[in-house]
Amino acid sequence: MTTIRSFMTDDHRRCDDLFAEAEQAVAKKDFELAQAAFGHFRSAMLAHFAGEENTLFPTFEARTGMSMGPTQVMRMEHVQLRSLMDDGMAALQAGNADDYLGLADTLVIMMQQHNMKEENILYPMCDQHLSDELPAVLERLESELSEE
């Protein structure tokens, strides 16, 4: 059965794949390809954030009344991730591999520990609290994630 946890986790893995493509391109010093790949990665991430911030988090907050809890922390981490991605894009546009790789290292860990908290803690909480409206929430998320 598809759950919020499995669906959103799969999307995290898809973003990881896109990130890896960008890094491979940087390693080959192909900055044009790297910019394109990083651009795909960033749009996928932004679509994922949008799905969470516009659909998943508000639904969870409305149901549980927890508006200053985990979802708030996740929103703050989204802000940090957005800014890291902007810096990464700028480094690629400037052709600065060293800056990019340093940012990429930071971005990877930030992104992975963020994903881990969502996958292990927040998504299971969502599945638990939103069990009766699961199909509707999943459908909305699905359409939002495809709008990159």
Partner 1 sequence: MQALLAFENAPPFTAPLRFFLTAPLFGVLAGLLVAFEGADLFASRWSPGALAATHLITVGFMLQIMLGALIQILPVVAGANLKRPLLVARLVHVGLSTGALLLAVGFLFELPAFLGGAAALLGVTVLFFLAATAAALAGVPSTSPTIRGIKLALVGLFCVVGLGIAMALALAGAWSLSLPELADLHAGWGLGGWAAVLLAALAYVVVPMFQLTPAYPARSSWWFPVAMLLMLAVWSVALLFEQSVPARLAQFGAALLGIAFAMQTMRLQAKRRRARPDATYRYWQFGLIASVLALVMLSVVAWWPEAGELPGWSLLFGILLVAGGFLPFMTGMLYKIVPFLSWMHLQNYGQARIPAPAMNKILAEPGMWRQMLAYFLALALLLAAVFFPARLACPAGLVFAVANGWLGWNLLGAIKRYRSHFADITLKLATS
**What is the pattern of x (binds partner 1, CB under 8 A) and - over residues 60-99?**
------x--xx-xxx-x--xx--x---x----------xx
The Cβ of residue 93 has, within 10 Å, a number of other Cβ atoms equal to 13
Number of residues engaging partner 1 in binding (CB under 8 A): 38
Q: CB of residue 31 vs partner 1: minimum separation in angstroms? A: 13
d(C-alpha 107, C-alpha 84), whole Å: 6
Helix ranges (DSSP H) in the chain = 4-27, 31-51, 57-64, 70-93, 97-117, 123-129, 134-145
Select from 2, 93, 120, 131 the one that contacts partner 1 (CB under 8 A): 120
d(C-alpha 71, C-alpha 63), whole Å: 13
The amino acid that residue 44 corresponds to is A
Select from 36, 50, 110, 134 the one that contacts partner 1 (CB under 8 A): 110
Using CB under 8 A as the criterion, which residues of the chain lie in contact with partner 1 when the complex forms? 16-17, 19-20, 23-24, 26-27, 66, 69-70, 72-74, 76, 79-80, 83, 87, 98-99, 101-103, 105-106, 108-110, 112-113, 116-117, 120-122, 124-125
